[in-house]
Amino acid sequence: MQARRGIALVAHDNCKQDMVDWARFNRRTLAAHRLFATGTTGGRLVDEVGLSVIRLRSGPHGGDQQIGSRIAEGEVDLLIFFWDPLAAQPHEPDVRALLRLAVLSNIPVACNRASADFIISSPLLTGRDPWAPELVRT
C-alpha cells in the first residue's frame, strides 16, 4: 500500500481537456491520493472524472497562490501544472511564483503529459513494486 500523497492539479484553459483526459486515464491512481486543484480545473475533475478534489480559488483569483501556500505548508508533494505556452495569462506573476516555489521546495513538477505520465507511474504513487517477482520476466 502506497503512502497517500498530496497532489496539486492545475491547467490553463487551452490545456484543461488534456488534464481531464489524463486524469480520467489515471483515475484509479489519483483517487488514492489527496487532490488539490485550482477552481475551474477542479470543477472539471469533479464533474467529468468523478474525483474528490479540494477546490481552491480560480487561478486568476488567487488559486495559484493558494496552491503555493499548500506547497509551503508541506501538504503538496507533487504538482501537475499544464500551463499554456501559447497564451499570456493576466496572473503571470502568480504562475511564476507557483513554479518557483515548487522548484524551491524540490517537489516533482510536470508541465506536460509526457512528464505527468512519468511521475504518475512512479512506484511512489502507484504502490506497485516494479521488481515484484510477478512483474519480472525471466
Selected binder of ligand 13P within 95, 116, 120, 125 (CB under 6 A): 95
- Is residue 64 part of the annotated active site? The answer reads yes
Task: For residue 84, give Cα distances in angstroms to 12, 91, 95.
Answer: 6, 13, 11
Task: Assess 10 for contact with ligand 13P (CB under 6 A).
Answer: yes
Q: Which residues carry a binding-site annotation for substrate?
A: 12, 16, 38-41, 58-59, 91
Identify the residue whose cell numbers are 479540494: 54
Task: Rule CB under 6 A: say whether 12 interacts with ligand 13P.
Answer: yes
- Measure the CA–CA gap between 67 and 59, rounded to whole angstroms: 9
Q: Which of 63, 68, 109, 116 binds ligand 13P (CB under 6 A)?
A: 63
* Residue 2 near residue 31 (C-beta atoms within 8 A): no
Residues that bind ligand 13P (CB under 6 A): 10, 12, 38-41, 58-60, 63-64, 89, 95
